[in-house]
Amino acid sequence: MPAASLAPLFNKVLIANRGEIALRVQRACRELGIQTVMVYSEGDSSAKYLRLADEVVCIGPAPISASYLNGAAIIAAAEITGAQAIHPGYGLLSENADFAEQVEKSGFTFIGPSADIIRLMGDKIAAKTTVKKYNLKTIPGVEGALPADVGEAATLIAKIGFPTVIKAAAGGGGRGMRVVHSEVQTRNILPVLRSEARAAFGDDTVYAERFLDNPRHIEVQVLADGKNAIHLGTRDCSLQRRHQKVLEEAPAFDVPQKKHDAICEACAAMCRKIGYQGAGTFEFLYADQEFYFIEMNTRVQVEHPVSEMITGVDIVAQQIRIAAGQPLAYRQKDILFRGHAIECRINAEDPKTFLPAPGRIDMYHPPGGIGVRVDSHIFSGYEVPPYYDSLIAKLVVHADTRAAALVRLRSVLREFVITGISTTLPLHEELAEDEVFISGKAGIAFLETRKQ
């Protein structure tokens, strides 16, 4: 398609996030020739990406409820700076349908899918019902939402067998879920979980499904423009603690090629049929060579770099182009998968207890070399604030094979220097040498059950 026929890109984009993803989106905008507006809280006033932005706006004090979750302040910042679109990054307001709707009603473009799609996929019960129509399996469980009556709900759960996991319909990221092993435990847990769900998500709807023992967590990256949709293959995100991902790799290791291709195409096909726009991720539990859908994230993921490394596709740039009305720049036949990539999430945490470790970074020296990428917003002298998520850097390596990527990972982890605070770098050094992880047999329970 001739360049002249493409819809024009935005002149200015407001980035409604912080940390490494704010810098990542800023870089994509600069490469596209788009000016950026960075919003920030008082707790992030020293962030280096603020110095790289065309304009900056302070939207409130350090607590996220008064700043990064203040949708009205973010929209007001877009109004006073003349931004045309808002990129929400990940987390925070990125999957808040009400915010996406208000952005559009205020005359700006929300860089992501429509509010209706966000609502559909954000409701885990509705999402499961939807994907079943498009040949995606779900974990066997109680059909629909659990009834309000505790006794009735417990009886239904007992019929599908134990162990069972009960989840908040509006939950996500491992929050709002409990595993039960008996009917008595179910009766005790249900009122507590409903109360927690109401407090955390504003919705006490819960559902139940069979608990799979130590499956792998595999996801499919998609891009779609409302008509065309493609996949960028799979990622294995099985290394988790407290349901939060620690290390990811692409493609998923040791999945039969036919099953790999079939699940990826099924996800892309569903996106075409529902008119999905933007980047998205289908998440599955994988057990006994079967994929079971658990949720869809309607945004860019923390782990998107591993998909970029094996395909050469700039996912964030594609998000921006699609939101501007341009058609997806690729067809599935254009996507060539090359090699293997592994990403380590470096958190400001104690590597054994995982307790947050904010503070001043005395020295920061990231590794480099062929096949090495570091996404980070930190620098020597940076003060890691105590108010936000503890992610401070993502180390990504790429090589021709998984074995070669592991060799490269071990090498560059030894080069990575962050002093002044505790980080999870030592944990990643251990994992890179762990025989179970190296074998590709680590499931989602591995990290919490391994001996340190």
Residue 338 to residue 398: CA distance in whole angstroms: 9
Taking a C-beta distance cutoff of 8 angstroms, is the pair 393, 48 a contact?
A: no
SS3 216: strand
Neighbouring C-alpha atoms within 13 Å toward the C-beta of 165: 15
Nearest to 261 by CA among 248, 252, 272: 252
Please confirm, yes or no, whether 242 is among the known catalytic residues.
Answer: no
Residue 184 to residue 64: CA distance in whole angstroms: 39
Ordered DSSP codes for 289-317: TEEEEEEEE-S--TTHHHHHHHH---HHH
Strand partners, 35: 12
How far CA 232 is from CA of 13, 220, 294, 430, in Å, comes to 25, 7, 19, 29
- Element (H or E) spanning 245, and its range? strand 244-250
Nearest to 139 by CA among 123, 127, 149, 147: 127
Which member of 299, 345, 402, 408 is catalytic?
299
Residue 354: which residues within 8 A CB-CB, separation 6 or more?
241, 242, 347, 424
Active site residues: 299
